[in-house]
């Protein structure tokens, strides 16, 4: 898929939005980050991957309908990034609360 087609498809998709483009000295490391508006998950695609795959596959990966390896999600907490695949159920619950904007401490304590 051509990059211009990828950008057009992301912008015209009601579920996705582009949030970042990273470029550097090595074109193999250039990347595009897309966010799934419904879930808040962000997926970063290296440009060679975008050029290699078809839109349907890229969209399925970005929306979580299809998983590829090595693909992982990260979250930034108190200044550092961490892979969430290694988190326990309690920590994943905290992340879900943070995404929903529930920051209050329950009165039952």
Q: Which residue ranges make up each domain of the chain?
A: 3-71, 73-109
Is pLDDT larger for residue 74 or for residue 93?
Answer: 93
pLDDT tens profile 39-65: 888 888 989 889 999 999 999 999 988
Query: Nearest CA to 30 among 18, 22, 20, 38?
Result: 22
**pLDDT at 109 exceeding the cut of 60:** no
Rounded mean pLDDT of 7-12? 94
| Residue 97, pLDDT score | 76
The torsion of the CA quartet 29, 78, 71, 4, rounded to 10 degrees, works out to -50
Distance CA 54, CA 96 (A): 31
């Amino acid at each position: 898929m051509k990059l211009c087609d990828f950008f057009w498809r992301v912008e015209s998709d009601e579920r996705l939005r582009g949030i970042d483009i990273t470029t550097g000295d090595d074109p193999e490391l250039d990347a595009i980050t897309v966010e799934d508006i419904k879930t808040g998950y962000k997926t970063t695609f290296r440009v060679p991957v975008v050029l290699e795959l078809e839109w349907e596959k890229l969209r399925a990966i970005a929306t979580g309908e299809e998983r590829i390896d090595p693909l992982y999600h990260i979250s930034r907490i108190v200044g550092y990034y961490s892979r969430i695949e290694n988190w326990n159920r309690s920590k994943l619950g905290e992340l879900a609360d943070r995404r929903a904007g529930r920051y209050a401490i329950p009165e039952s304590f």
